Amino acid sequence: MDNRVIFHVDVNSAFLSWEAAKRVAEGLPDLRLVPSAIGGDPNSRTSIISAKSIPAKKYGITTGESVSSALRKCPGLIVVRGDFGLYRRCSKAFMTICREYTPTVQQFSIDECFMDMTGMENFYPDPVAAAHELKDRIFCELGFTVNVGVGPNKLLAKMASDFEKPDKVHTLWADEIPAKMWPLPVGELFMVGKQSAEKLRKNYIRTIGDLAARSELSLKMLLGDKAGEYAYRASHGIDESPVTEEWEDEKSFSHSVTLEEDVRNTADAKNILLSIADHVSRRMRRDGARAYCVGVTIRDNYFHDRSHQKKLDVATDISTDIYKVACTLFDELWDGHTPLRLLNISLSDVTRDEIQQMSLIPGEDEKRDKSRKADQAMDAILEKYGSGSIKRASQ
C-alpha cells in the first residue's frame, strides 16, 4: 500500500442540493426538507426522476423511475425541472474551492472529484481535519453539503466517501479495510457491475471479504482475466492509478427511458426514440464530441434485452442523423408486437477532433450544416428556459 493521501469529494444529491441551495438563497423553502425531486414534465411519460430528497426517499421514490410513478407514491411531491446551467456553475464553484487546497484535482464527474493531498503536510498536517474544513467551507460558502472520503489511493477514498451520508468525512486506510470494507456487500465494491456482482453471489461470494478470500486465479476463471484481476486487487484495496489534473473525457454517451406503459406500436416507439436521440446528442454536443457508433437496446416486458449497433463512416453529433440510425436498428431488433418497457440509445467511438470529414455526396455538407444549426438553436433555448421549453413538431 502506498503512502499517498487522497480525498474523494462527492456532492450529496447534487442536482437537488444545487437547486435547493439556490432557492434558499432566494428566501424560498428548502427542498431538502420536504418530499421533492428533480425531473421533467410530470405530464410526459418519458420524464424520469434524476435526484430526490431524503424525505422523498421515505416514500419509496427512486432515481430513474417515471415522474408519474413517483407522484402516485407521493401526491404532494414537489417536482422541479432540471437546470443544467445551474449545475455547471455549482460544479465549477466547488471545484474552485477544492483547487485552493491542492493543485492536483481530477474532476471525475460533474459532482465529484479526487484530490491528491500527498506532500501537503506543511499546510495540512492532519488530513482528516483538512477534510472537515473543506466540507464545512463548501457548505458555508456555497450552501450545499458534500461527503469527503480520505484514503491512501483513489479506490479507498471513493469507497470511504460512499459510507454514511450526508455531510460526512470518512477514512478508509489500509488497516481499516477488514473492519470497514470487507463486511460490505460485494456489489458495493467500486467498479463491480450488477452482472459481475450477481455472478459472484451465485458462487457464494456475497461480501467484499468473501471476494478477498478467493485467489486471483479463481476470480480470473470466474470473471475473465481483466475483471478477475481488478476484483482481486480492489478487494485488497490495491490501486496505483494517479490523480490527474484533467477531467477525463467521457468515452461514450447513453440515455435510457423506462416506460410507464408498455409500447405496443412503432409510431410511439420511434417518437420516444426521437426524444432520447435529442437528449443524448445534446449531452454529447455540450461536451464537444461526435460519435462514430450508434447503438440501440430494447427491453421487453419479460425483461429480455436485445441490442444492435452500427458504425458510421463519418462521426456525427446531429440529432436527426442519430435518430435515423436508431430507427433502422430498432426495426432490426423489434418483432413488431412484443410489448416494450425500455428503450436506449448509446453513442460510442467518440472523437473530439475539430477536423470533420467532408462528404462526397453533393449538397450533403450543406444539409448537415443546416441540421447542426437547428440543433444549436434548440440547445440554446433549452439551456435558457429549461426542459420542455421547445419540442419538435412531430412530438
Nine-digit cell string for 63:
432515481
Q: How far is CA 392 from the centre of its chain?
A: 26
- Beta-bridge partner residues of 263: 340
Q: Which amino acid is at 316?
A: T
Q: Tell me how far CA of residue 182 lies from CA of 105, 173, 210, in angstroms.
A: 28, 13, 8
Q: Which residue has the cell 477488514?
A: 178
Cα atoms in the Cβ-side hemisphere of radius 13 Å centred on 188: 18
Give the ranges where 144-193 is alpha helix by DSSP (H). Answer: 154-161
Degrees to nearest 5, angle at CA 243 with 121 and 252: 160
Helix, strand, coil fractions of the chain, as percent rounded to 5: 45, 20, 35
Supply the residues annotated as catalytic: 112
What is the distance between the alpha carbons of residues 187 and 333, in angstroms, rounded to a whole number? 31
Q: Which amino acid is at 294?
A: V
